């Protein structure tokens, strides 16, 4: 795969939170294919994380995996600092770690709400603040928000959608604060993408698929391609933007 791409990210260092599987693993592999050295975080999937590191290593690129729960501020800060210490710099942060606890709103618990806030918003706050300490001119902060951060086409996602709406406005606000440093902040908003979090097979997938214009789920590489573009030099005038990759779900 790597031989088919240019090396637009040669010399760059990226950290992808939640990079052991799903969308984050695809992003880590794609950024490495484009030339970056990559760190990923994970919580439980040490084997999965090791296999992503191995896959990147087999293409001649550098990668490390760091256990860091997005809900643990100290661990997240340490992961950011370790990435910069290992590779000597930090150019790209992809805030991908996230979770959803789907339930009809009246059955959702306060614990569910706290959990999605801790991972999807608080984790983004901590990682981004830590990363900005290391980032220089041309840095890239990339959020993985969600199409449901703008329009909610299916039931059961109120707490999750609220956190992704917060990620959207976080992106817009932060872009104004770091623009003077030449750092861009963008929010990639996936629609239904086939992963363990949102499998394309099963009952839960039926209404989501039906809401897309293309009548199908997307692939993790569809999101990785957008992230790689935003991370690259051609996207230097894109900031504060919400970039939806959803098969037309929100059309
Ligand atoms: P998956 O559940 O398939 O993968 C999640 C990844 O994040 C894993 O590598 C997991 O590793 C890691 N992770 C989970 N919890 C934490 C945590 N607390 N701290 C650090 N890492 C964690 O999810 P997806 O790939 O589907 O989703 C990735 C992102 O994309 C999320 O932000 C999600 O909200 C967003 N998204 C996904 C959509 C979809 O349809 N799939 C649609 C819209 C947005 P481990 O298990 O080891 O912790």
- Which pair of structure tokens corresponds to residue 155? 């039931």
* pLDDT for position 202: 82
Cα torsion 193, 197, 198, 202 to 10°: value is 140
Mean pLDDT of 80-98: 98
Atom of ligand 1 nearest to the CA of 20: 9
Which CATH architecture does the domain made up of 2-245 adopt? Answer: 3-Layer(aba) Sandwich (3.40)
Residues 120/167, Cβ–Cβ less than 8 Å: yes
Distance from the alpha carbon of residue 21 to the mean position of ligand 1, in angstroms: 8
Closest CA to 92 of 185, 189, 23: 185
Q: Where are the domains of the chain?
A: 2-245
Q: Grade residue 4 by pLDDT with cuts at 50, 70 and 90.
A: very low
Distance from the alpha carbon of residue 197 to the mean position of ligand 1, in angstroms: 7
* pLDDT one-digit tens code per residue, 213-242: 999 999 999 999 999 999 999 999 999 999
Residues 123/95, Cβ–Cβ less than 8 Å: yes
Q: Grade residue 118 by pLDDT with cuts at 50, 70 and 90.
A: very high
- Give the pairing of strands 92-95 and 63-67: unpaired
- Which pair of structure tokens corresponds to residue 176? 């104004």
Residues 242/150, Cβ–Cβ less than 8 Å: yes
Active site residue 237: no
Distance from the alpha carbon of residue 55 to the mean position of ligand 1, in angstroms: 19
Residues 167/150, Cβ–Cβ less than 8 Å: no
Catalytic: which of 5, 42, 160, 237?
160
Mean pLDDT of 197-217: 95
For 208, half-sphere exposure in the C-beta direction (CA atoms, 13 angstrom radius) is: 23
Instruction: Check pocket membership of 45 for ligand 1, CB cut-off 6 A.
Output: yes
Q: Grade residue 2 by pLDDT with cuts at 50, 70 and 90.
A: very low
CA dist 97 and 19 (Å) reads 8
């Amino acid at each position: 795969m790597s031989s088919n791409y240019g090396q637009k990210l040669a010399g760059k260092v990226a950290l992808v939170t939640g990079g052991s599987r799903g969308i984050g693993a695809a992003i880590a592999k794609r950024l490495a294919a484009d030339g970056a050295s990559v760190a990923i975080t994970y919580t439980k999937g040490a084997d999965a994380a090791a296999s992503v590191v191995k896959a990147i290593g087999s293409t001649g690129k550098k990668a490390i995996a760091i256990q860091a729960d997005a809900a643990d501020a100290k661990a997240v800060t340490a992961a950011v600092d370790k990435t910069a210490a290992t590779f000597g710099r930090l150019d790209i942060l992809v805030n991908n770690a996230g979770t959803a606890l789907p339930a009809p709103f009246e059955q959702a618990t306060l614990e569910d709400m706290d959990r999605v806030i801790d991972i999807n918003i608080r984790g983004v706050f901590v990682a981004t603040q830590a990363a900005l300490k290391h980032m220089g001119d041309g840095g890239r902060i990339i959020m993985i928000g969600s199409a449901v951060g703008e329009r909610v086409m299916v039931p059961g996602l109120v707490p999750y959608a609220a956190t992704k709406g917060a990620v959207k406005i976080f992106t817009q606000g932060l872009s104004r604060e770091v623009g003077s440093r030449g750092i861009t902040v963008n929010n990639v908003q996936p629609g239904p993408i086939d992963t363990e979090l949102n499998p394309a097979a099963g009952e839960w997938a039926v209404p989501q698929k039906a809401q897309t214009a293309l009548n199908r789920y997307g692939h993790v590489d569809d999101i990785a391609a957008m992230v790689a573009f935003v991370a690259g030099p051609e996207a230097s005038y894109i900031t504060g933007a919400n970039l939806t990759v959803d098969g037309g779900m929100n059309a």
